[in-house]
Amino acid sequence: MTSINPNELSILVVEPSDIQRKIITQQLKKQGIVEVSQAKNITEALSIIERHAHDLITSAMYFEDGTALELLRKVRANERIADTSFMLVTSEYKKENLEEFKQSGVIALLPKPFTHDHLAAAINTTMDLLSADELELEHFDVHQIRVLLVDDSRLARNHIKRVLNNMGLMRVTEAVDGRQAINLINDNMFDLVVTDYNMPEVDGRELTRYIREQSQQSHLPILMVTSESKDTHLATIEQDGVNALCDKPFEPQLVKQILFKLLEH
């Protein structure tokens, strides 16, 4: 296992309020983080990022010159910093306003005001993403496990693939939707399917039903990753053959525990 410590992290705090920036910076220092940069708007943040890459960007939602979503898109579009972990700190609670962040691979959505535990969990996720911590399995060579990753969001696929790679799962085949996944399943053998729930044409539930009822690989373990895993309409989805549900944001340590149970069952 290759791990890092909080004092090795470099974090950029993007927050329009002087008081809130001070509070967040103080909280980060309590977590043992000493390298903290600050920006009060998107323009300033982008200027800082151009000069120095960071391990984590923590951002408020709204600024005088745009929104956190615009900042996130610019970060993801810049190849040099595209993998930078991004955390949103917001009092926003409407699902529709947060959905695109979840689909873009943010590591955490922290409520405002956040607690010590909220922040600690987000910092731990950042360190997990920067660390190699292979999944140790008794019945499988983790490097040989064939994973089919299905998600219509390229950013979400990139994030999930990064987490899987850090666990030693290197043989990852990507599909952009359930229809493409079905074609791949018909032509290739896999050991695990990791799929999104909401997708155009063939969604995760329909893909699961196809695997269980029509494919030659009906035994495949299926992990469904969704931003709606707490919604009541997913309460019975395991009856369709999903082995486990996981929230977006995709948290490495939780996913590791789930995969261990699925693959060593």
Are the C-beta atoms of residues 25 and 2 closer than 8 Å to each other? no
- pLDDT on residue 232: 52
Distance CA 58, CA 61 (A): 10
Q: What is the pLDDT of residue 15?
A: 97
Closest CA relative to residue 140, chosen from 5, 28, 263, 223: 263
* pLDDT, tens digit, 9 for 90 and up, residues 31-60: 999 899 999 999 999 999 989 989 999 999
96 vs 109, residue with greater confidence: 109
DSSP one-letter string for 171-196: EEEEESSHHHHHHHHHHS--SEEEEE
Confidence check: pLDDT of 130 > 90: no
Judge contact between 37 and 81, C-beta under 8 A. no
Buried/exposed 197-212: b ≥16 CB within 10 Å, e otherwise = bebeebbbbebbebbb
Domains assigned to the chain: 6-130 (3.40.50.2300), 142-263 (3.40.50.2300)
pLDDT band at 196 (very low <50, low <70, confident <90, very high): very high
At residue 198, the pLDDT reads 87
What is the Cα–Cα distance from 147 to 249, expressed in whole angstroms?
19
State the pLDDT at residue 221: 95
Say how many residues make up the chain: 265
* pLDDT (tens digit per residue) in 206-220: 999 999 999 999 999
- pLDDT at 236 (0 to 100): 63
pLDDT band of residue 235 (cuts 50, 70, 90) is low
| Helix 116-130 vs helix 18-30: crossing angle, to nearest 10 | 70
Assess whether pLDDT exceeds 70 at residue 176: yes
Most confident among 69-83, 116-130, 170-184 (mean pLDDT): 170-184
Query: What DSSP designation does 118 have?
Result: H
What mean pLDDT is predicted for residues 74-87?
A: 90
Q: Tell me if 157 sits within 8 A of 177, measured CB to CB.
A: no
Task: Tell me which DSSP letter residue 132 carries.
Answer: B
